[in-house]
Amino acid sequence: MRSKGWFYLTLAAYVALVLAVMLIRVNGVSSDESGSSDVDYAVGVVMLFATVGPALVGEMAMRRLLPAVRLRKERRNILRRIRRAEQAHKRAQHYLDRMARATERWDSSAARLTARERLNGR
């Protein structure tokens, strides 16, 4: 899969947004004044991973499912092509059957006319 510049730019913007939200939450919702700021930053890191984690899991799942999605599309296209080929085959078979019936009618009609001419010609 090719990576594009827009992907990295969007990813950088997303990371910056998540970090900004984390910093605002850590600075805005501090624990007690006597508490350590380490706890606040630990909460911020947990919030960061709670935000980014589902996105990473979703991306991993999408990468694992991508081959299956491609195969499903290919299968659908192949089945569609098979249906079209079967329909074309059926139309051709009906045409050949009609032509065979018409040929039989023409041959039987020609045989009757030939027999009638032979009887009248004697």
43-72 pLDDT, tens digit each: 777 777 777 778 778 888 888 888 999 999
Q: What is the DSSP letter of 57?
A: H
Domain ranges of the chain: 5-121
Q: What is the DSSP letter of 29?
A: S
Tokens 């999408």 identify what position?
62
> Residue 28 in contact with residue 49, Cβ under 8 Å?
no
3-56 pLDDT, tens digit each: 677 777 877 787 777 777 777 776 766 555 555 666 767 777 777 777 777 877
The pTM for the full model equals: 0.48
> Residue 46 in contact with residue 18, Cβ under 8 Å?
no
Instruction: Compute the distance between CA of residue 107 and CA of residue 116 in angstroms, rounded to an integer.
Output: 14
